[in-house]
């Protein structure tokens, strides 16, 4: 049985047991593919970037760069000397203590792309350090990863400037598709790894670790160092750095550790110039010290409010607010809206037992988003009864009184009764039976394409 599965889905065997590769009949082709860039790992980096919230609430917690670097320092991963500052005075004091003639002042936000957005400032005097800190602290920084409103900067990291000879990309993550830890590396550091993946996929290497517990085997070190083109004399310090990364990931229960760029300095040493650590929320109870590093200011306020109300909500850029029961149906609803030419304003799964209270909370959330031009309620009554949902909707609408058209599609158990209640309520609700028709109407109501 197992053999048949492996023969028919060789990839599966490979994923479950990276070490078993040499034992399977398709060993040669798998040996080639196992080190090739895989979309799955990169997708996971992407997922982590999206501040990773799923239908079961927050699944990850990001750390600030300075916090991530403190972990690196403890694990023997080399970082630039520096310290965090909350005021320009503090920034200058740190620069003076560091000494030297070149400093970097870096905005601390939970998003990358700060360099391009003006959030990383190279300074050649303490006066410039002061000016950089003054320009960053207390503002919002918008990068291509921060979302349209940007993120608040309440602190900067002041570091000694490094003389960069080469920039690499290096990360270690929980590779769910292969069910192991994998290193991802590229000699093209300092740029978005997604861009490298798109334009030069051959310049990224993914190396799965055979076992999480056994340290970093020599062949992994050699493959990674080889692909990065590191000089031989750096292999021992690179090996230590990889071990430190693995240690950092394991001891913190992180799901992703990313160094972009890892640099080779002009004097020939390796330094993690940037640091990103994403922790797995499910393990935070084991790390009260790490949980204390949480910075709620870096999260979307509507998402925070939704979390408190027990709603699974992700803010998006569109103008059609969606309220759906079940994560799968919510995804399908968003797809359908886009297919009809509209843009969803959010992902929202009110859960299988959508109570009137939660429905009302959802309507309050929609009201607080000025972009919303239509509300689309799509409920499939399986375990829940549509008439009860309709009652909840009516209560919610009386209380939250949305000012935009509300289109409701109720289907399933007692749907007829539900629709009847809605039509009798005297509230401006358009009840539409068909899913496609309802989505089309919602797009139209929002002034979109349909």
Residues classed as catalytic: 169, 258
Least Å from the CB of residue 273 to ligand ADP: 5
Least Å from the CB of residue 104 to Mg ion: 12
Q: Can residue 10 be called a binding residue for ligand ADP (CB under 6 A)? A: no
Binding partner of 104, given Mg ion, ligand ADP, none, CB within 5-8 angstroms per partner class: ligand ADP
Binding partner of 113, given Mg ion, ligand ADP, none, CB within 5-8 angstroms per partner class: ligand ADP
Q: Can residue 190 be called a binding residue for ligand ADP (CB under 6 A)? A: yes
Binding partner of 162, given ligand ADP, Mg ion, none, CB within 5-8 angstroms per partner class: ligand ADP
Nearer to ligand ADP, 106 or 414 (CB): 106
CA dist list (Å): 171 to 43, 117, 206, 240: 13, 23, 9, 15
**Range in contact with ligand ADP (rule: CB under 6 A) among 148-156, 158-166, 323-331, 424-432:** 158-166
Q: Is residue 189 left, alpha or beta, with left meaning phi > 0 and alpha meaning psi from -120 to 50? A: beta
Least Å from the CB of residue 67 to ligand ADP: 14
166: phi then psi, degrees, rounded to nearest 5: -145, 150
Rounded to whole angstroms, the Cα distance separating 246 from 56 reads 27
Rounded to whole angstroms, the Cα distance separating 207 from 268 reads 25
Letters for 117-146 (x = contact with ligand ADP by CB under 6 A, - = none) are ---x--------------------------
**Range in contact with ligand ADP (rule: CB under 6 A) among 147-155, 156-164, 316-324, 363-371:** 156-164
Rounded to whole angstroms, the Cα distance separating 412 from 161 reads 63
Least Å from the CB of residue 66 to Mg ion: 14
Task: Out of 260, 298, 346, 378, point to the residue binding Mg ion (CB under 5 A).
Answer: 260
Return the H-helix or E-strand segment holding 175: strand 164-175
Binding partner of 120, given ligand ADP, Mg ion, none, CB within 5-8 angstroms per partner class: ligand ADP
Q: Can residue 188 be called a binding residue for ligand ADP (CB under 6 A)? A: no
Residue nearest to Mg ion (CB): 274
Nearer to ligand ADP, 115 or 187 (CB): 115
Task: Out of 38, 53, 114, 340, point to the residue binding ligand ADP (CB under 6 A).
Answer: 114
Rounded to whole angstroms, the Cα distance separating 355 from 285 reads 29
Helices (H), 36-192: 39-49, 65-74, 88-98, 126-136
Binding partner of 161, given ligand ADP, Mg ion, none, CB within 5-8 angstroms per partner class: ligand ADP
Q: Can residue 161 be called a binding residue for ligand ADP (CB under 6 A)? A: yes
Any long-range contacts for 313-316 (C-beta under 8 Å, 24+ apart)?
A: 313/346, 313/347, 313/348, 313/362, 313/365, 314/53, 314/346, 314/347, 314/348, 315/147, 315/345, 315/346, 315/369, 316/343, 316/344, 316/345, 316/346, 316/347
Task: Out of 10, 37, 80, 392, point to the residue binding ligand ADP (CB under 6 A).
Answer: 80
Residue nearest to ligand ADP (CB): 115
Any long-range contacts for 87-94 (C-beta under 8 Å, 24+ apart)?
A: 87/133, 87/137, 88/130, 88/133, 88/134, 88/137, 89/130, 90/133, 91/129, 91/130, 91/132, 91/133, 91/156, 91/158, 92/126, 92/129, 92/130, 92/133, 94/158
Binding positions for Mg ion, 263-302, rule CB under 5 A: 274
Binding positions for ligand ADP, 274-313, rule CB under 6 A: 274
Letters for 90-109 (x = contact with ligand ADP by CB under 6 A, - = none) are --------------x-----
Cβ-based neighbours of 66, under 8 Å, separated by 6 or more: 82, 83, 84, 108, 155, 157
Task: Out of 115, 150, 210, 341, point to the residue binding ligand ADP (CB under 6 A).
Answer: 115
CA dist list (Å): 108 to 88, 290, 308, 443: 14, 17, 26, 39
The residues that touch ligand ADP, with contacts defined as CB under 6 A, are 80, 104, 112-115, 120, 159, 161-162, 164, 167, 190, 260-261, 273-274
The residues that touch Mg ion, with contacts defined as CB under 5 A, are 260, 274
């Amino acid at each position: 049985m197992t053999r048949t599965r492996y023969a028919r889905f060789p990839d599966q065997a490979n994923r479950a047991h990276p070490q078993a590769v040499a034992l399977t009949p398709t060993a040669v082709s798998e040996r080639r593919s196992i080190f090739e860039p895989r979309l799955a790992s990169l997708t996971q980096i992407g997922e982590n970037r999206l501040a990773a919230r799923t239908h079961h609430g927050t699944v990850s917690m990001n750390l600030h760069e300075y916090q991530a670097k403190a972990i690196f320092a403890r694990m023997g991963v080399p970082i630039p000397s520096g310290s965090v500052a909350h005021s320009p005075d503090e920034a200058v004091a740190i620069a003076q203590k560091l000494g030297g003639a070149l400093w970097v002042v870096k905005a601390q936000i939970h998003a990358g792309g700060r360099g391009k957005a003006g959030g990383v400032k190279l300074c050649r005097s303490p006066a410039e350090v002061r000016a950089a800190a003054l320009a960053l602290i207390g503002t919002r920084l918008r990068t291509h990863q921060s979302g349209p409103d940007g993120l608040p900067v309440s602190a900067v990291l002041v570091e000694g400037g490094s003389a960069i000879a080469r920039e690499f990309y290096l990360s270690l993550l929980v590779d769910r598709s292969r069910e192991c830890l994998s290193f991802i590396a590229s000699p093209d550091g300092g740029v978005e790894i997604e861009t490298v993946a798109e334009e030069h996929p051959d310049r990224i290497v993914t190396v799965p670790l055979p076992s999480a517990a056994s340290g970093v085997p020599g062949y992994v070190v050699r493959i990674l160092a080889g692909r990065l083109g590191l000089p031989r004399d750096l292999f021992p310090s690179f090996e230590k750095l990889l071990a430190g990364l693995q240690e950092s990931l394991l001891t913190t229960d992180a799901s992703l550790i990313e160094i972009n760029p890892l640099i080779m300095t002009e004097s020939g040493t390796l330094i993690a110039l940037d640091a990103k650590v994403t922790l797995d929320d499910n393990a935070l109870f084991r790390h009260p010290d790490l949980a204390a590093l949480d910075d709620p200011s870096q999260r979307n306020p509507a998402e925070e409010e939704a979390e408190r109300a027990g709603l699974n909500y992700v803010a998006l850029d569109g103008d059609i607010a969606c309220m759906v029961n079940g994560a799968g149906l919510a995804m399908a609803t968003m797809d359908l809206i886009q297919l009809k030419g509209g843009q969803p304003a959010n992902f929202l799964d009110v859960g299988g037992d959508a109570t009137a209270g939660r429905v009302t909370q959802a309507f309050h959330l929609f009201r607080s988003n000025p972009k919303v031009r239509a509300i689309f309620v799509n409920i499939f009554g399986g375990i829940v009864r549509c008439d009860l949902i309709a009652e909840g909707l009516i209560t919610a609408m009386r209380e939250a009184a949305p000012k935009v058209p509300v289109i409701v599609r109720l289907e399933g158990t007692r749907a007829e009764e539900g629709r009847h209640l809605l039509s009798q309520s005297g509230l401006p609700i358009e009840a539409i039976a068909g899913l496609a028709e309802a989505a089309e109407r919602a797009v139209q109501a929002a002034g979109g394409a349909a």
